[in-house]
A = this chain, B = another copy of it.
Amino acid sequence: MRDVAARAGVSPTVVSRVLYNKAQGVRVGAATAERVQQAAKELGYRRNMTARSFRQQETMMIGVLHGIGSGRPRFNSGPRYFAALMDGIVDGAFKHGYTLSLCPKLLGTTPEDAMSDGRFDGLIWYSTFPSGENLRLLESCPVPLVLIHTPASAVNNQYPAVICDNFQGIGLAVDHLVSLGHTDIAFAIENEDFFDEAKMRLEAFFAHMERLGLRAGRADVIDVALDRSGVQNYFAAGPKHTAVIACNDGVAAAFIKHAPEFGISIPNDLSVVGFDSTDYCWELRPALTSVSQPLDVMGQSAVNLLVQSIRGETPDPPDLTIPCGLDIRGSTTFKP
């Protein structure tokens, strides 16, 4: 910029005004402005955005975090949960002119982590495993933050959150199965120890079963464990249900995958419902009936809330709850 100024015979101040103050009255002579533009072009001047970010205390960057303790979510394997969400997040970020970053030091207290001062104007935190350690770290986040998939209450309503309506979503699944004649319905959960949406879904399952006058208790909960070994154990012991609702598509997929090993036909012997309804459901044979979260909408909504926070507006309510749908595919049918 100094070079441009020199070539145009003006001070750097003028260069800055000419090139970037278009909107609010340039206050520079037309001839001077012209000379500056010319000089900038000739020298191939490009603004140093890092210097600008530094000066303005604003980077126009949003970071996406997934917490520590679980691996990086994949775009292209297994249940495509993260891919769908990211499409929404990226759309939202771009709409507001923000750059979106994935940071290797996602969360923590190391100096270069995503919560470092000045690095990002705001953060979106996504995790299906909001462990205690993560939640503690979040509490000291110095920049605006929006949670996806974790209710705001988990961090004292410190930050706004976007979650799907798990209660209503599970209701759709239960109603669907009951309308097919099922009464012995199990709920499959990945790991009961974690406090997260899976638990909300499990409780919704109990509530909806009770609403319909059906029995459901701890004996109807299948903990598949993180390695899915619980599915094999369940099949090996002989299924006691005609339908199972899984807390997510990945868990549901485990049932579909292992059923043949035990001579169980899905959906004829056992109907299976997933949760998330990513495109992954189509890959399974049979294709998986699943409660759909409008992930792209959720991603965009999260960014909208975040941008509000960045602007200093306090978005309310703390939890933005988005209703679910049900995508019926091939893994559910009438009670045998």
Contacts and interface: CB of A to CB of B under 8 A. Distances in A.
Interface of A: 19-20, 44, 46-51, 53-54, 57, 59-61, 72, 74-77, 80, 82-84, 86-87, 90-91, 93-94, 97-104, 111-112, 115-119, 140, 142, 278-279, 282-283
Most buried by B among A44, A102, A142: A102
A61 B282 contact: no
Given A83-B76, A86-B75, A104-B99, A49 B278 contact: no
A77 B87 contact: yes
A111 B72 contact: no
A98 B104 contact: yes
B87 A80 contact: no
B80 A112 contact: no
Nearest to A60: B112
Contacts of A76: 80, 83-84, 86-87, 278-279
B94 A46 contact: no
Contacts of A74: 87
B99 A100 contact: no
Contacts of A61: 101
25 contacts: A20-B111, A46-B115, A46-B116, A47-B112, A49-B112, A49-B119, A50-B59, A50-B117, A54-B54, A61-B101, A72-B91, A74-B87, A75-B75, A75-B80, A75-B83, A75-B86, A76-B87, A77-B279, A90-B102, A94-B104, A97-B104, A99-B104, A101-B101, A279-B283, A282-B282
A97 B112 CA distance: 10
Contacts of A115: 46
Most buried by B among A99, A279, A282: A99
Contacts of A99: 101-104
Nearest to A284: B282
